[in-house]
Chain A
Amino acid sequence: MLKKALICAASISVMMIAGAAHADTKGKKIALSNNYAGNSWRQAMLKSWDKVTKKAVADGVVAAADAFTTSENQVTEQAAQIQNLILQGYNAIVINAASPDALNGVVKQACDAGITVVSFDGIVTEPCAWRVAVDFKKMGRLEVEYLAKKMPAGGNLLEIRGLAGVFVDDEIHAGIADGVKANPQFKIVGSVHGNWAQEVAQKEVAGILPSLPEIKAVVTQGGDGYGAAQAFAAAGRPTPTIIMGNRQDELQWWKEQKDKNGYETMSASIAPGVSTLAFWVAQMILDGKQVPKDLTVPFLTIEQANIDAAVANTEKGGVANVEYSAADAAKVVAGK
């Protein structure tokens, strides 16, 4: 018993020494392995990475922070890319993964080579890697809770889902389903897959709309609100409360409606700047800090009161964003 306690104490003191010593990360190289760049969210994500890491490199925090994107959004391609990054001698690899489990093999190889692997947004399940994840389920639940507050009488909902078969889609959907279960005054009368794209959402909603009764609100996964609004307008139906994502066109539309007729809704999304949070987490790990393997990032919500500011701060065609600092990352790691 005493022996155990001693070992424990010893290991704690070693950890503290390591923490206090601040293993220098000046010479360390971090790489971003990204599986897709073909939409405005990913573009903003890469831009944020570029902005924050450039400054970190200039300030001498790390030696390099290069971003690599595969062209085809394919697991095999990303696996090959990560293998290259291992050979190139990066100290840490930050991954937005094409698949939660198919990259586990190559992630394990990286870990075995002594490389720190931090996944975010599209996370990997391999235990040796860190995960910076969003509580998507909570995001779905929050949408219904907001509606319950706004319209206590309830009503019919139309659900726009994301890409079928993707983890994020299942999670947000499960959250929405939970929310509806807890608030039985709401009923989902129709569900389509908008693939997180305005054009697809517009097409699918326009198709199902003629068959539906009056819709009180549309629950979404972000990136599809504007398309849904267009479909309702084209069908000559009254505009329901559409939960928005964080794309500029959605926010702009919301603001225009608000100025015209006091339209009220909310926006829930993941800030693309989460890539910078993952960067700082990787830097902290390289720095020898103790970081839990599973971290949760707050999602970005925009409320009625601050829509004007949000539109003003979002560039045309971009997405509402937050970039994280080393201090923010430390807060997330501490679980605050």
Chain B
Amino acid sequence: MKPALKRLGHQPWLGSFIAATVVWLMTIAFTGGQGGGEILTSALSFGTFTVIVGLGQMMVITTGPGNVDLSIPATMTLSGVIAMKIMNTDEALLLIGILAALSASLVVGVANYILIRLLRIPPIIATLSSSFLILSTAISYGRGIRIKPPPSLAEFATVRYAGVPVVAVAVVALSFLLAIVLKRTIYGRTVLAIGQNERAAWLAGLNVKSVRFATYLLSALFAGICGILQSGFSGGAALNMGDDFLLSSIAVVVIGGTSVAGGKANVPGIWGAALFMYLLVTMLNIFGASPGVRLILTGVMIIAVITMAGGEKASR
């Protein structure tokens, strides 16, 4: 029993969940218990989107220092715009729209990898510059921007049972799947190995190139999925729908206990961090803090949580 508890105490994801709970408790203490459940529901609804892109970002970051995908917001937008425009509120075109949007996202993944691998551009610059291209494509293709999603997509993105959004449940399942992939498959193990030491992984005979390629594809695919769901959730696609996700996709990865240096991924931490980030902003809004104070407190809290989660270093 004791070792199990001890092991739990060392889990780097615990910090973000504790932080989320503390923030939530502080909020309902302030409101006198009013709306506690509803706040959790909306945290789950909105946190889910951050989790989807966060999972993709986590895989990319885990492949080692310097790897990061900054094209996520642009890919989301492109995917949302394509999906909404092709579906054009028509149920019959739902699948075609999804397929087209996801294919476009995969093309982005391929393009990113070409820039990084063949042209040897550092990932930060490569994905940042590709995001300009992607966003311009979305703008010129989209023009007429917010087209409503077909009712079934909107229904799927917003429906909830007993306060639990269906999308959140689906993404929890996806997270489990990804955790298993990381722990139990050759692909997952290779991602971790590359992140720990690329040269050692290569010498061990692992296929570094194709695994990294697959990881950028995965990140773009997740961004695409998020774009479609977000469009369904908020009644259409907008050109600036991804703006909010550039920093938050990276923040949830780091707060969730994934190593920025790579080689160490943490799936549950992404959930804790996404809920924490949403609840934190909500709490400060409810407290009526001014924007300046809000930004300062957000920064301080993030540093505090990362420091808490960083305790695991000593054990290595």
Contacts and interface: CB of A to CB of B under 8 A. Distances in A.
Given A198-B238, A207-B281, A318 B39 contact: no
A210 B27 CA distance: 11
B44 to A, nearest CB: 11
Contacts of A247: 146
A31 B46 CA distance: 42
A164 interface: yes
A211 B42 contact: no
A40 B239 contact: yes
B272 interface: no
Contacts of B91: none
Contacts of A234: 42, 45, 158
A249 B235 contact: yes
A210 B35 contact: yes
B146 A248 contact: yes
Given A165-B291, A199-B244, A40 B42 contact: no
Contacts of B282: 207-208
B38 to A, nearest CB: 4
Interface in B27-68: 27, 30-31, 34-39, 42-43, 45-46
A248 B286 CA distance: 30
Interface stretch (B6-14, B137-145, B175-183, B257-265): B137-145
A100 interface: no
Which of B27, B30, B139, B292 has the most chain A CB within a 10 Å cutoff?
B139
B124 to A, nearest CB: 14
Interface stretch (A103-111, A130-138, A189-197, A305-313): A189-197
Interface in B224-258: 230, 234-236, 238-241, 243-244
B243 A317 contact: no
A28 to B, nearest CB: 30
Contacts of B244: 195, 197, 199-200, 203
B137 to A, nearest CB: 13
B144 A210 contact: no
A198 B35 CA distance: 23
Given A211-B34, A316-B144, A39 B288 contact: no
A211 B31 contact: yes
B46 A317 contact: no
A179 interface: no
Given A198-B234, A210-B34, A38 B139 contact: yes
Nearest to A213: B34
B147 A39 contact: no
A77 B126 CA distance: 19
Contacts of A204: 281, 285
A230 B285 contact: no
A43 interface: yes
A279 to B, nearest CB: 22
A285 interface: no
A37 interface: yes
Nearest to A233: B158
Interface in A109-126: none
A203 B236 CA distance: 15
Contacts of B291: 164-165, 193
A71 interface: yes
A38 B38 contact: no
Given A71-B132, A199-B230, A206-B46, A192 B285 contact: yes
Contacts of B223: none
B239 A202 contact: no
Contact of A230 (B39, B230, B235, B243): B235
Q: In the complex, which of the residues B42, B45, B144 has the most CB atoms of chain A within 10 Å of its own CB atom?
A: B42
B145 A230 contact: no
Contacts of A315: 144
B285 A317 contact: no
Nearest to B282: A207
Given A43-B139, A227-B234, A317-B147, A208 B285 contact: yes
A211 B39 CA distance: 8
A201 B87 CA distance: 25
Contact of A316 (B27, B39, B147, B238): B147
Nearest to B285: A208
A210 B35 CA distance: 5
A38 B142 CA distance: 11
A40 to B, nearest CB: 5
A40 B39 contact: no
Interface string A149-184: 000000000000000110000000000000000000
B135 interface: yes
A210 B38 contact: yes
A37 B239 CA distance: 9
Contacts of B147: 316-317
B241 A197 contact: yes
Interface of A: 37-40, 43, 71, 164-165, 190-193, 195, 197-200, 202-204, 206-211, 226-227, 230, 234-235, 247-249, 315-318
Given A210-B34, A234-B158, A317-B147, 18 more contacts: A38-B239, A39-B240, A43-B239, A190-B288, A191-B285, A197-B240, A198-B234, A198-B238, A199-B230, A199-B241, A200-B243, A203-B46, A207-B286, A211-B39, A227-B234, A249-B146, A317-B143, A318-B144
Interface of B: 27, 30-31, 34-39, 42-43, 45-46, 132, 135, 139, 142-147, 158, 230, 234-236, 238-241, 243-244, 278, 281-282, 285-286, 288, 291-292, 295
16 contacts: A37-B139, A38-B135, A39-B240, A164-B292, A164-B295, A190-B285, A191-B288, A199-B244, A203-B278, A210-B36, A211-B34, A247-B146, A316-B146, A317-B142, A317-B143, A317-B144
Question: Across chains A and B, which 9 residue pairs bring their CB atoms closest together, nearest first?
Answer: A210-B35, A317-B144, A207-B282, A164-B291, A210-B38, A317-B145, A206-B42, A211-B31, A249-B146
